[in-house]
Amino acid sequence: MTRREPTNFLSGVIEGFYGQPWTPSERLELFDWMTRWGLNTYLYAPKDDLKHRAAWREPYSPSEAESLGQLIQACRIHQISFFYGLSPGLDIHYSNGEELDHLKRRFEQLRKLGCAHFSLFFDDIPDRLETEDIARWGSLASAQCHVANTLFRWTREQHPEARFLFCPTAYCGRMMESKLGGENYLATIGRELLEEIDVFWTGPEIVSREITVAHVQMMRAIFRRKPLIWDNLHANDYDGHRFFCGPYSGRPQELRGEVSGLLCNPNTEFPLNYVPLRTLAEFVHFRGAWDARAAYVAAMREWFPFFETVGRQITLEDLISFGDCYYLPYEEGSEGKTLLRSAQALLATHPSKWSGEATLLRAQTARLREVCARLSDLRRRPLFYALSRRLWELREEMDLLERYLAFKSQHPNQDIPGTSDFHLPGTYRGGIVAQLQRLLVQQPDGTFAPAHAGAGR
């Protein structure tokens, strides 16, 4: 592998998800990975650190400050740039000078702990202003630029080489099209935000399947600077039933020359991020034709030693098959895709016409169910705990499918509904959330319709 290190190119990890922040030991393991793989940036911005977002005016306690100081020092030892992020947008009063004082005091507290680089976030907030803010600034974008520019100038007085990052309220193409933040919000950001400040962008969507060069070039013209990609490809905080261990993909290699950096905001559960971050690092440094699937298999091979069990071992092929069921938001891996298509085709056929396909599918479901069972015996318990819900759910679905196929194969010419004593109403796919999910059915075009639509007509 040939190293590719753009001078000021940021590559690395954002701890920026909703959910329980990572532990100090997990972050140290992350820094070890990043050092080995050539990633240079860590951004501390967990949404559910109360003092990052909800209680942003409150200073960190002595014990909290000590932990952050240790984190900053660990980054320094690993030669990783530490960025601290603050998100005041939920309730900031832009025209109140005391609010800027609160922001400076927080940044000063971090500066004394050794932090030199900062980020200001205005994402996931109401796009409205108080009456006095409208009177003074005229627009949300101008008010935010004033705050960011003031904080940036202040940080540069403390550290002339300080890097400053900004997350706008409209941070993806869909938000821009819906005019979130107001008319000409992003154009105002591009015009009024100091040019040294980097601007985050997630692509066409919050979770973007693809980010093209043409899209980024369009945003570069609006921002008047190269965008900094906040990549949610592997984020799972919006769906606790899933995680994503597929490869970094859907981004052409030419993208690296059009952006100021690639930062990944990954799975909430730290132990599940080996393959996403390993393949991101490969993408950043790789020269040649990028093969995402080959990168995935190679990273899975590296991750495989983490999966030692106390009982019967799984194989690398087993791990890849399991990973293919939790691949990427918009696609399953090849083996997961094959399994799903086989099941759909077989269940659309009358059981009297089943032949060897049913036997083969039963064998596949039994194998995957067994892999899930064996993974329950992982020696690395934190890895198992991160996987446990998904292991159980996939195991249950494989068990039900295998039982249904077996029952129907035994009664191919009888229209008898399948039953299972292990999957009872209320305990299986139960609860109000599951019931609500069955009320509206999403159509292939993304629209929704009631599940009973057309009934009785």
Task: List the catalytic residues.
Answer: 124
Q: 200 forms bridges with which residues in the sheet?
A: 228
Say whether 230 sits in a helix, a strand or coil: strand
Say whether 279 sits in a helix, a strand or coil: helix
State which H helix or E strand residue 84 sits in: strand 81-86
State which H helix or E strand residue 43 sits in: strand 41-44
Amino acid at 142: S
**HSE-CB of 41 using CA atoms within 13 angstroms:** 31
Distance linking the first and last C-alpha atoms of the chain: 63
Q: 85 forms bridges with which residues in the sheet?
A: 119
State which H helix or E strand residue 301 sits in: helix 292-303
Q: Which residues contact 260 (CB under 8 A, 6 or more apart)?
A: 8, 9, 10, 198, 225, 226, 227, 228
Amino acid at 402: E
Q: Which residues contact 183 (CB under 8 A, 6 or more apart)?
A: none
* DSSP code string of 138-185: SSHHHHHHHHHHHHHHHHHHH-TT--EEEE-SS-SHHHHHTTTTSTTH
- CB atoms inside a 10 Å sphere around CB 90: 12
Supply the Cα-derived Rg of the chain in whole angstroms: 25
- What is the 3-class SS of 247-261, one letter each residue? CCCCCCHHHHHCCCE
Exposure class string for 242-266: b at 16+ Cβ within 10 A, else e: ebbbbbbbbbeeebbebbbbbbbbb
Phi (first) and psi of residue 82, to 5 degrees: -95, 125
The pair of three-digit structure tokens given for residue 40, joined into one six-digit string? 């240079």
Please tell me the distance from the alpha carbon of residue 213 to that of residue 211, in angstroms, as a whole number: 7
